[in-house]
Amino acid sequence: MIWMKAIVYYGPEDFRWEDVPTPEIGPDEILVKVKACGLCSTDIWKALYLGSKPGSVLGHEVSGEVAATGRGVRNLKVGDRVAVYHRAECGKCYYCTHNQQPLCSEYQEQSIFPGAFAEYICAVPRLVQRSILRIPDELSHEEATLIEPTGCSVRAVSKCRVGQNDSVLIIGDGPMGLLNAQISRAAGASVVMLSGHHDHRIELSKRLGINHSFNSKEVDIKEKLMELTDGRGADIVIVAVASTHAVSESTGLVRKGGKLCVFGDFRDVPQPNLSLDLKLVLRDHIDFIGSWGCSTQDYRVAFNLVTSGKVKVKEMITHRFPLRKFDEALKAFLNKECAKIVLNP
């Protein structure tokens, strides 16, 4: 048996740098040497709120280099620099044919082994066929890790049908808020606003081209919003934080006939119940939209946005840590000192 190093999860404050077996690949699988992995809130909340099984290896925003291929693999070769999307839908089931790929049973199955907080991962056949893209030499492995979260944001913006002359308000200044704002702008929105709590992220958003960015602890967001939308409110509000309070507050920020998108991942984070006045749906014709995950097509759109520079990801990476210093990376994440953290094995 060949061994490699990985960060193994045992409990909310118990991550260990340990030896684990290097995955063995089948005839239609590939082995990828991990070059970089993003630290995603989904992994962190799973770990902190006991949503993961002790002994598991987390991590999914990954890029690397093909280290070995099964004898049946024809589309990739050893040495290819690749971005790996950790999910792939079947493309044929009821949900896939209704453009609801994240509900596909194959999509929801684990498809990289172990997780990407490791030196190597195995990608199962459906990923090899649909979800692995060669990256150009000019794109770093670190930048390529942001293709996956960009894809998730592409799906949200697409579901909201953001287009020309729309006004969009993003609630949340974390990486997903910054990506949703950039993609809304790329989709043609005439006014893109971002509301957050952290000055360093607000300043970063302005460097990313989001001119209307505000610290909601210091600025009356509703007043600013009404000023920028002729008193109507935003056509579209995307809540990019896991907060029922933010969702409730957003109902007063979206215009009549507008759309409110719940994007922040609530699955593992304890939250108070949401009290919602259904007259907003009936009388004010507000559409409530949920968006989680992305299809392989969304991932390809994200790839093009990142490689073309329409979405700036390099500037979002503020912290880098060796994988063995995961505890330091986690501390920086929880203290909100960062924008995007990338781990390097």
- pLDDT surpassing 80 at residue 269: no
Could you report the per-residue pLDDT of 29-50, keeping only the tens digit for each? 999 999 999 999 888 888 887 7
Question: In terms of domains, do 183 and 79 share one?
Answer: no
Mean pLDDT in residue range 86-105? 97
The per-residue pLDDT of the chain, averaged, comes to 94
**What is the CATH number for 68?**
3.90.180.10
pLDDT at 14 over 80: yes
Same domain membership, residue 214 and residue 113: no
pLDDT at res. 287? 95
Q: Which domain holds residue 257?
A: 159-290
User: In this predicted structure, what is the pLDDT of residue 167?
Assistant: 98
Residue 330 lies in a domain: yes
Q: Tell me, yes or no, whether 33 lies in a domain.
A: yes
**Pair (117, 209) in one structural domain:** no
**Does one domain contain both 328 and 239?**
no
Q: Are residues 139 and 178 both part of a single domain?
A: no
Q: In which band, very low, low, confident or very high, does the pLDDT at 282 lie, cut at 50, 70 and 90? A: confident
The answer on 187 and 82 residing in a single domain is no
Residues 207 and 323 in one domain: no
On whether both 266 and 172 belong to a single domain, the answer is yes
Weakest-pLDDT range from 83-87, 160-164, 274-278: 274-278
- Report the pLDDT averaged over residues 279-303: 94
Query: Has residue 298 been placed in a domain?
Result: no
pTM of the predicted structure, to 2 decimals: 0.95
CATH number at residue 257: 3.40.50.720
Residues 43 and 84 in one domain: yes
Q: What is the pLDDT of residue 131?
A: 97
pLDDT value at residue 268: 61
Q: What is the mean pLDDT of residues 237-261?
A: 94
Domain presence at residue 306: no
Number of domains within the chain: 2
What is the SS3 assignment for the chain?
CCEEEEEEEEECCEEEEEEEECCCCCCCCEEEEEEEEECCHHHHHHHHCCCCCCCECCCCEEEEEEEEECCCCCCCCCCCEEEECCCCCCCCCHHHHCCCHHHCCCCCCCCEECCCCECEEEECHHHHHHCEEECCCCCCHHHHCCHHHHHHHHHHHHHCCCCCCCEEEEECCCHHHHHHHHHHHHCCCCEEEEEECCHHHHHHHHHCCCCEEEECCCCCHHHHHHHHCCCCCEEEEEECCCCHHHHHHHCCCEEEEEEEEECCCCCCCCCCCCCCCCHHHHCCCCEEEECCCCCHHHHHHHHHHHHHCCCCCHHHEEEEEEHHHHHHHHHHHHCCCCCEEEEEC
Shared domain for 210 and 252, answered yes or no, is: yes
Inside any domain, residue 196: yes
Please report whether residue 304 resides in a domain: no
Q: Are residues 12 and 142 in the same domain?
A: yes
